Amino acid sequence: MNKKIQLQDLGQKDYKSTWEYQEELFGAIVDLKIKNRREELDLETPNYLLFVEHPHVYTLGKSGDLENLLLNEKQLEAKGATFYKINRGGDITYHGPGQIVGYPILDLENFFTDIHKYLRFLEESIILTLEEYGLKCGRSEGETGVWLDTGTPFARKICALGVRASRWVTMHGFALNVNVDLGYFDNIIPCGIRGKGVTSLNVELVVEKVDEEEVKNKIKKHLTALFEAEFIQ
């Protein structure tokens, strides 16, 4: 079982090219697992975590409703945003500058074979990270992601989650709002959920800008502990 995770920080990168890169890594791991099984080999499968920041983009999961996008093609263009239907779970979300997106591409057979546990661990890494900034966050029953003030009229989402898994290999992941222009969320019904808000770490801390590298390091630290993993460059 290979518990090493290769960390790659892609900086700011177009959504489509990042998605293609994810598919490339994901496909190579799946192919290696098939080869191991067919040829009775025991070759080690790699694991990756991609950190990335996307230019303005809206993505709709395979179970999502296109009506949750409130812009037409011309309005998208005017906003400088793109739109993609993709193969993760979940509904619609926004990615853009000031958001830390994490794509773990893991062979869960190196860790544990439980998708529910995997999702909860991703959420927990964000909850523990935000606790270090003095924020009390949690889960909202029946909804993925990380929320503040759940169970109140002021519930607001700070981190979205959507994954795909096949043969215990994962892709897609989480998107944590750190220094995000929240106005872009006004153009969608986030995650298809009405009546709940969206927030960003800098808004909650009432500061102009939060150090994103510091946030990434905290997320990495908590993922290391939760998955009993070792990050390598």
**Closest of 36, 56, 58 to residue 45, by C-alpha:** 36
Residue pointed to by tokens 């892609």: 10
Predicted local confidence at residue 90, as pLDDT: 76
Pairing of strands 4-12, 230-232: parallel
* 203 token code pair: 């808004």
Predicted local confidence at residue 233, as pLDDT: 86
Radius of gyration of the chain (CA): 17
For the annotated binding site for substrate, the residues are: 88-95, 160-162, 173-175
Residue 179: burial class (beta carbons within 10 Å; 0-12, 13-18, 19+): buried
Per the annotation, the verdict on 191 as an active-site residue is yes
Q: Kind and range of the H or E element at 15?
A: helix 15-39
Q: Point out the catalytic residue in the list 60, 101, 137, 191.
A: 191
Domain range 52-103+112-226, its CATH number among 3.40.50.150, 3.30.750.24, 3.30.360.10, 3.30.930.10: 3.30.930.10
Residues listed for the chain: 233
Q: How confident is the model at residue 191 (pLDDT cuts 50, 70, 90)?
A: low
- Annotate 77-93 with b (16+ C-beta within 10 A) or e (fewer): eeeebbbeebebbbbbb
- 51-108 pLDDT, tens digit each: 999 999 999 888 788 888 999 889 999 999 999 998 887 788 899 999 999 999 999 9
For the annotated binding site, the residues are: 88-95, 160-162, 173-175
CB-based contact 139:123 (threshold 8 Å): yes
Mean pLDDT of 185-189: 86
Query: Cβ neighbours of residue 84 under 8 Å, at least 6 residues apart?
Result: 15, 16, 19, 57, 58, 59, 60
pTM of the model: 0.94
CB-based contact 164:119 (threshold 8 Å): no
* 128 token code pair: 């523990």
Q: State the amino acid at position 117 in one-letter form.
A: K
Query: Cβ neighbours of residue 152 under 8 Å, at least 6 residues apart?
Result: none
Residues paired with residue 63 on neighbouring β-strands, in sequence order: none
Predicted local confidence at residue 100, as pLDDT: 98
What is the side-by-side order of every strand in the sheet holding 57-60? 82-85, 57-60, 92-95
- Alpha carbon distance 162, 44 (integer Å): 26
User: How many Cβ atoms from other residues are within 10 Å of residue 31's Cβ?
Assistant: 11
* 64 token code pair: 């999502």
